[in-house]
Structure 1
Amino acid sequence: MSVDHTEPVRPAAHAMRFAALYAEIQQFYAHQMQLFDRHDSERWAATFTNGAVFVLPALDAPVCGRAALAASVRGNRERQERDGTQLRHWIGMLDVDVRPDGTLRTCAYALVYATPRGGTPVVSRVFVMRDELVGRCGAWHVRHRVVSRDGLPEDGSAQGAGPL
């Protein structure tokens, strides 16, 4: 049996659309994390919906809404300046699930690198980030984010969890 290799193999149209969507979501997270690491609080918060909910193991309660999200970034900046440490977030192993209503469910790993002033970067924390993304006005926004940290119980009850 022989196979004709003269015709180019073309991926199905839906696979091409998904590949484009996947690249778009990767770019969304790259942009969002760079805003976060630069402490661009207002622009970072604008990547969330107005009523977004952010659940993080280091916090006693979820952060709700853009104003509270922006305030948390300003607090992170003050803490890092005081400690003399730069944090960088790397997002990888992204899984994207398109829901019937057009929302996206994503799951990704987040590595946090900490670099003390004049020091060497080290992986400080490893998280799993689960998001619900919605499309609004031609852009993606996080409506709900749950972050769990490796080494902590799912409820985040351990001490010393630290900020994202």
Structure 2
Amino acid sequence: MADSPRDAVPAADVLAVHQLYGRQSHAIDSGRAAEWAATFTADGRFRSPSYPEPAIGTAELTAFAERFHAGCEESGERLRHVVSTVEVRTGQSVETLRARAYLQIVGTTSGGEPRLHRITVLEDELARTADGWRVRRRTVHRDG
């Protein structure tokens, strides 16, 4: 069933969500933990089956991203977050959106072949802030 016109998300907001996901991927892949955490609201929540506990709030999100990048450096592998097939839908109010996307995490080593670590589905609740759209709640689901 197609969305009705009143459920359509403005193109500018869809583009902003794509940009947000791009900023997130580049920040975490480059070890810019505070920048990655800033793509979430101050009370943002990140939950993934790959990690035992959710990260909640800016301090925990920053620490999570720092640990993630440190693990990559220890392993000598460069990881890339590849977000695709993004679907942006209306949220509970004009100040929120819902988004769903596929996330592939691909790793490479110096001179090595790329290796697919996992394919997941992102389910996000986004909030409009003074600084643009931010993730309020992210739930990651593994495929397969």
Q: Which has the larger radius of gyration?
A: 1
1:1-164 equivalence runs, <5 A:
18-102=10-94, 103-151=96-144
CA RMSD of aligned residues (A): 1.9
Tell me the SS of whatever aligns to 2:24: helix
Indicate conservation of the 8 Å contact 2:37/2:58, yes or no: yes
What's the % identity of the aligned pairs? Answer: 34
Displacement of 1:81 in angstroms is 1.0
Distance 1:124 1:138 in 2: 32
How many residue pairs get aligned? The number is: 139
Cα deviation digits, residues 53-72 of structure 1 (max 9, x gap): 11110122211111111111
Distance 1:58 1:15 in 2: 33
Distance 1:118 1:83 in 2: 14
Tell me the SS of whatever aligns to 2:111: coil
Displacement of 1:26 in angstroms is 0.8
Structure 2: any 5+ residue segments left out of the alignment?
Answer: none
Q: Which has the higher strand share?
A: 2
Distance 1:76 1:122 in 2: 17
Indicate conservation of the 8 Å contact 2:101/2:121, yes or no: yes
Q: State the match for 1:5 in structure 2.
A: none
Indicate conservation of the 8 Å contact 2:41/2:134, yes or no: yes
**Larger relative contact order (CA 8 Å, sep ≥ 6):** 2
Q: State the match for 1:3 in structure 2.
A: none
Distance 2:97 2:118 in 1: 25
